[in-house]
Structure 1
Amino acid sequence: MQGKIMKGIAGFYYVEVKGQTVYECKAKGIFRKDNIKPIVGDNVEIEIIDEDTRQGNLVKILPRTNALIRPPVANVDQAVILFAIVKPNPNYNLLDKFLIMMRQYGLPVIICFNKQDIATKEEQQELYDAYEKCGYRVLFISVKEERGLDELKALLKGKTSTLAGPSGVGKSSLLNKLVPDAGMQTGELSRKIDRGKNTTRHSELFLVKELTDEQQETFIIDTPGFTSLELRDVTTDSLMGYYPEFEKYEPECRFGGCSHIAEPDCGVKKAVEAGEVSKVRYDNYKVIYSELKGMRPDYSKGKKR
């Protein structure tokens, strides 16, 4: 019998068999032997142990189209990264690191900025200029007032999307709008530290019934909030490749292999000064470059004031 892992907790995997029910399964020992760990989103084969109690064993993981390390999910079509425009202000450095990770996986990203109802047009324009102009799809929404949700739903339909973002930006509230029966606990924003409590402890996949029909299913994966990300397999030499807006101006650099940091007559730095490349993005590039080089970064450059 085939199904999909919807959730994994403490060695138990909850597998939904299409059109039937959810079975609580343990993984066979062969997975440990082969050093394979089942993850949310995996399509699997199970054997039923007890139909009455809906218990079974996970016996096979079907081929994956992809597998992410953080968040650990499989068979994803796209990523939706959610930040707030204000309260809390977005940490651009954290956002850029997430975008780098998704480019490594080859996944398209929808950048979704929440709390449009309490943000100014100027604050929204700054975000638009920084990210839409370098090739990312940017949406401004208000979960509270349900603004922009129809546009987001159109982008989600028929796909499996992983929903990620820091705590306190409205991730659980958005999920509740998309999946009314998810029963997610909405985190309260801490006024003292201007940061939300992380109410999601594990990744979980939900069927978005409103966007599902006989031809196609729509899934969204809720993942734990994060306050930091560690880049893997990125070097100072390869970092510029994750900033596609730089490429147009690199032929104008005096030196081949220009790092766009300290070299004179740098085409990218001139583009930043002319307003053709986002200063926000460039400042974050310098911060991440410093981290990769082992220097002490100035994190104030990566946060909105």
Structure 2
Amino acid sequence: MPELVEGVVVSLIAGYYDVETPAGLVRTRAKGAFRKTKEKPQVGDRVKVKLDEQGLAYLVSILPRKNRIGRPAVANVSHVLLVISAVEPDFSVQLLDRFLTFFSWQGVQVTIYLSKSDLLGEEKLKEVKDQLAYYQQIGYPVYLDRAKLAEELPGKIGPEDIWTLAGQSGAGKSTLLNFIKEDAQQETGAISTSLNRGKHTTRKVTLFKLGEGFLADTPGFSSIDLTPIKLTDLASYFREFKALSSGCKFRGCQHLHEPKCAVKDALKKGKIAQFRYDDYLAMRTEIEEGRIPEYLK
């Protein structure tokens, strides 16, 4: 009698799906029915697998997804570990805000890790730390110490959780993963100094067991497209704006030129960082024009 078990797709290899089940790792093929429905299982999908008497395994159904993020995609992401580089590529609050806005739009929590901080001079490091302190103040967990992150991270990942690494290419995601989980053995690569960006060394998505759940390594994001975001919703993805918006005179205030705006008032008092507000305005322009800025392509 064929047995039906549930599991999580942890990797895709040449048409095969490796699925972590309560009985261990099972390599499966997808049923032909998926081709008819044009449905393709993704890493992170919770699936049902049929095991027959000959020891063959077939992936027969995909359970409902809560999200699907990235290219190549990871499904059912509960949290993002966002790796932002101090140098090579250079630290950028504009890029950081793009990632935070994108993942807020996707409904995914974010923890920030600053990589390569040891390569910064004392004065520049203080400037970056001061900027990151603002993100801590508005509620984002921020790590600068790799050892502390590696110690605390497994305890944060629950049995239903899929965390994924994210960040621009060359930021050090695979290096971080190799430190956190030594048996990951992910390839790392050099930086192109002429382009100030890294070479993609991760070419596929793989889930690694960590804590009670999984941590995924993914190819770096070369750009993030914010243009599908509804313009009137953008402010709600800036968490400090959202927290203050109930104090605005007008419901749906866009925090531009409206009178008695709590966000603009907080900005004047220095309670909201000017660079955050400037990035908000830049994103509004991007969404209005419907195109990613040239410098990000």
Shift in Å, 1:167: 1.0
Q: For residues 13-162 of structure 1, what are the structure 2 equivalents within 5 Å?
A: 13-23=17-27, 25-48=28-51, 56-64=57-65, 66-70=66-70, 72-119=73-120, 120-129=125-134, 131-142=135-146, 146-156=147-157, 158=159, 159-162=161-164
- Distance in structure 1 (CA, Å) of the matches to 2:227 and 2:53: 43
Shift in Å, 1:44: 2.1
Stretches of structure 1 that go unaligned for 5 or more consecutive residues are: 212-216
Amino acid at match of 1:136: Y
Distance 1:297 1:108, change over 3 A: closer
Corresponding residue SS for 1:198 = coil
- Distance in structure 2 (CA, Å) of the matches to 1:198 and 1:218: 26
Matched, 1:224 2:223: no
Name the stretch that deviates more: 243-252 or 218-227. Answer: 243-252
Is contact 2:18–2:25 with CA below 8 Å preserved after alignment? Answer: no
Q: Deviations over 1:229-251 (max 9, x none)?
A: 11364222111111121245546
Is contact 2:170–2:197 with CA below 8 Å preserved after alignment? Answer: yes
Shift in Å, 1:175: 0.9
- Distance in structure 2 (CA, Å) of the matches to 1:286 and 1:57: 50
Please report the TM-score for the alignment, with normalisation by the length of structure 2: 0.82
Corresponding residue SS for 2:74 = coil
Shift in Å, 1:62: 3.0
Q: Deviations over 1:58-101 (max 9, x none)?
A: 1122344x122325222333221111133322333333233233
Residue matched to 1:214 = none
Stretches of structure 2 that go unaligned for 5 or more consecutive residues are: none
Is contact 1:94–1:228 with CA below 8 Å preserved after alignment? Answer: no
Is contact 1:85–1:124 with CA below 8 Å preserved after alignment? Answer: no
Distance 1:296 1:76, change over 3 A: closer
Is contact 1:288–1:297 with CA below 8 Å preserved after alignment? Answer: no
Corresponding residue SS for 1:275 = coil
Matched, 1:6 2:7: no
Distance 1:271 1:161, change over 3 A: same
Distance 1:50 1:7, change over 3 A: farther
Corresponding residue SS for 1:181 = helix
Please report the TM-score for the alignment, with normalisation by the length of structure 1: 0.80
- Distance in structure 2 (CA, Å) of the matches to 1:243 and 1:231: 13
Corresponding residue SS for 1:46 = strand
Counterpart pick for 2:182 among 180, 183, 198: 180
Q: Deviations over 1:108-147 (max 9, x none)?
A: 2112222232342332121221x122222222234xxx35
Q: For residues 226-245 of structure 1, what are the structure 2 equivalents within 5 Å?
A: 226-231=221-226, 233-245=228-240
- Distance in structure 2 (CA, Å) of the matches to 1:91 and 1:36: 38
- Distance in structure 2 (CA, Å) of the matches to 1:55 and 1:47: 8
Is contact 2:227–2:287 with CA below 8 Å preserved after alignment? Answer: no
Identical-pair percentage:
38
Amino acid at match of 1:105: Q
Amino acid at match of 2:195: I
Matched, 1:292 2:291: no
Number of residue pairs the alignment of both structures matches: 286
Corresponding residue SS for 2:83 = strand
Structural RMSD (CA): 3.0
